[in-house]
Structure 1
Amino acid sequence: MIGNLVRSRRVGFTLIELLVVIAIIAVLIGLLLPAVQAAREATRRMSCSNNMRQIGLAAQNYHSLYKMFPRQALPNRGHTWAVAIMPFLERVDLFSSYDFSVDWNNSRNHDTIDKKVSTYTCPSTPISGLLDRAGGGVMTATTDYVPHGVVTSTIMNAGFVKRRKKPFGLINRSVTRMRDVFDGLSNTMLLTEDAGRPQFYVNGRLGPSTNDNGCGNLNVANGRAKGGGWADPQNFIPLHGFSDDGLSCSGPWAINKTNNNEAYSFHPGGLQINLADGSTHFISEQIDIEVYASLITKAELEVISAF
């Protein structure tokens, strides 16, 4: 009888033991989650780098065919660099449907410019592929990669970088050939990241609904950072330099303070650029703004040893 009672007892965990096990599992998850997130970001960053590498190669192929780099936007019609290189990104479909005989935002182009181009979006961007309301209320799909048009007189006058006689970047409204890049292809930026538009971000989080940064840069209204469309002729960015909070300029910070018309990414610690020689580099957000300005300009005879 006693033996039967012993055999009939249920074997299990006490409440305290269960709580201990749950606590251990929670600790393990807490330890593993950052590692998993870091691994995912490493994969996203690699994919982002591959996008920029493809774009850089497309720009090289464009130059081989037309003996010039793509321009920021063509005069009068406003057709952008991003449209120009599409045949070299295997997007002949969009290139063929785009009408170059009319303005970029003409109704004939509406059904083309609202199409997402995966090569133009960085996987690290929280919400990618959004439509941006551009000139005349036209909706255009966005790009996270943009050319640096110029080092502004604003930041030079503020004394954060030295004065430059030729402050213009590689991709601007004028024609640029390889022979015009006096700084050297390996010292001159082709594109940088300005991710997340049209949503307005500062320091890794959504910014306020309005922002007048005080230096003639594009002002934010309704939480929208302008110029994000790949077909929008305003998708190039200048270098103003920003304050630490990302809300005013000029300042000592070149990247990752705001995506309002400045270089910005969602990669921890920095962002990616590609150079005119076709290479892609990850640069620290602590980069000296003078060095960053030197990477932008193409004809100041500046040789950069490290960045």
Structure 2
Amino acid sequence: MKRPIRTGFTLVELLVVIAIIGVLVGLLLPAVQAAREAARRMSCSNNFKQIGLAIHNYHSAYNQLPRHGSGTDDHAAYGTGGDWWSQSQDATMGKLSAMGGLLPFIEQQAIWEQLANPSIQNADGTTRPTTDPWPAMGPSPNYWVNAGGYVPWVTEIPGFRCPSDPGKGLPAAGRTNYAVCFGDSGNYMYRGYRPLPNGRHLDKMDNTEADQIRGSARGVFINFHTTRFRDILDGLSNTIAMGEIATDLGDKDKRTISQTSSKFWGGQNIGNPSICTDTAGLIDSERPQFWASGTTVSTSTNGRGYRWFDQLTPYTVMNTILPPNRELCGFSHDFWLTVAPPSSRHQGGVHVLMSDGAVKFITDSIEAGDSRSRAPDSNYRPGDKSSYGLWGALGSRAAKETIDQEF
């Protein structure tokens, strides 16, 4: 009698095959994830290159860089005091970021047309009364949620987003992962003494204050002021025009939301850029990338990168004081944030856009001098060397600093 021929696998053989497959998947999965992140990082770099080309095309067209802090004004909204925080549904109040001017140059002509012309359309599909349309150039940025939402303000622009950043949805409007560089000073980060249309100023400025602004406004972009490539005396290839920022996810990441400690409120100077690191209890000792659970952070709408159209510091501004991926630190209010380093979801560093259009990856360990050597909101004299090493020198446009090392 013949023995039957066995046609299946034994349990042991099956378990061995499953174990081998599991080992192979475990070995290959990190490589697959690394390949995906490499692709996302390359896509992010390409987005930044397109923004760089847009800046150069804008400069060719208008002989200046897009102004950070531009748009229309509503005289009545200022009242008698001329408050610089005045808001209006009928004008941008000069608070439009430089990103708005770049829209036609990054193939976003449709959004630009909506922005540049009066509109009755709301983001929720409703319409505003025809007697009261949204104005050309839009309302001031904080009105994006009113009456169904102004369409351009709640539109996500793909060219302004890094694929590695998962942030989306409320409480943000249209997010951005790219911010203009204000250089290596935290002084006059917001105001810059913008003149009003009727000749008054938001603040009374004398010659001493004018000198302070000349010394403190050290970056390629300056709030409410026009800059040109000819102003970048240190060389376009040696000066950062923009940097990457990670958007806030609501998880108290110290890179994407600022503290509201009493130390940073009420007009006090920030004597030490690393004060948030040096102050016990602010940063979670077990998770050093996050603020401690018992601390209070800024309001949820002040998250990093939450509004591509808004010129306030958390949304579209970075500086070269603390090195990349350090904490947001300074005054708690969104417009007076003093220390605003770039950040990203990439491992080990961030992309920066040089003024010549080149995109470089800057590591977190870039030489940044002694962060405790100078108060970030103290005044430089025009032409002073940066206090923050190579990193600070890359952010200043006209300090005659020689870049003699790789970065």
Range into which the TM-score falls when normalised by the shorter chain = 0.7 to 0.9
For residue 45 of structure 2, the aligned residue among 46, 49, 71 is 49
Q: Tell me, which stretches of 5 or more residues in structure 2 are unaligned?
A: 72-92, 116-135, 188-213, 271-295, 331-338, 369-388
For residue 182 of structure 2, the aligned residue among 149, 159, 163 is 149
Q: Determine the structure 1 residue equivalent to 2:137.
A: 100
**TM-score (normalised: structure 2):** 0.60
Higher strand share: 1
> Is 1:291 aligned to residue 341 of structure 2?
no
SS at match of 2:182: strand
Q: How many residues align?
A: 274
Q: Is the 8 A contact 1:243 1:249 kept in 2?
A: no
Q: Is the 8 A contact 1:131 1:229 kept in 2?
A: no
Q: Determine the structure 1 residue equivalent to 2:317.
A: 236
Q: Determine the structure 1 residue equivalent to 2:22.
A: 26
Q: Tell me, which stretches of 5 or more residues in structure 1 are unaligned?
A: 134-139, 155-163, 251-259
Deviation at 1:115, TM superposition (A): 0.5
Q: Is the 8 A contact 1:74 1:80 kept in 2?
A: yes
Q: Is the 8 A contact 2:183 2:397 kept in 1?
A: no
Aligned counterparts of 1:15 and 1:224: Cα–Cα separation in 2: 58
* Counterpart residue identity of residue 110, structure 1: Y
- Deviations 1:36-58 (Å, cap 9, x if unpaired)? 01111111111101100000000
Pair 238,17 (structure 1): closer, same or farther in 2 beyond 3 Å: same
Pair 184,123 (structure 1): closer, same or farther in 2 beyond 3 Å: same
> After alignment, is 172-181 or 8-17 more displaced?
8-17
Pair 120,44 (structure 1): closer, same or farther in 2 beyond 3 Å: same
- RMSD in angstroms over aligned alpha carbons? 3.2
Q: Determine the structure 2 residue equivalent to 1:170.
A: 220
SS at match of 2:242: strand
Q: Is the 8 A contact 1:238 1:262 kept in 2?
A: yes
Aligned counterparts of 2:12 and 2:254: Cα–Cα separation in 1: 43
Q: Is the 8 A contact 2:245 2:305 kept in 1?
A: no
SS at match of 2:67: coil
Identity of aligned residues (%): 34
Q: Is the 8 A contact 2:233 2:400 kept in 1?
A: yes
Q: Is the 8 A contact 2:183 2:218 kept in 1?
A: yes
Aligned counterparts of 1:181 and 1:247: Cα–Cα separation in 2: 28
Q: Stretches of 4+ moved more than 4 A in 1?
A: 104-109, 164-167, 213-219, 246-250
- Deviations 1:187-235 (Å, cap 9, x if unpaired)? 111111112236456389xx8x984465569943459625531011212
- Deviations 1:43-96 (Å, cap 9, x if unpaired)? 111110110000000000111111111122227421211110111111111111
SS at match of 2:39: helix
Aligned counterparts of 1:15 and 1:203: Cα–Cα separation in 2: 52
- Deviations 1:88-134 (Å, cap 9, x if unpaired)? 1111111111122753455698111101100000001123x43445x
Aligned counterparts of 2:399 and 2:56: Cα–Cα separation in 1: 22
* Counterpart residue identity of residue 148, structure 1: C
Q: Is the 8 A contact 2:343 2:350 kept in 1?
A: yes
Aligned counterparts of 1:189 and 1:32: Cα–Cα separation in 2: 38
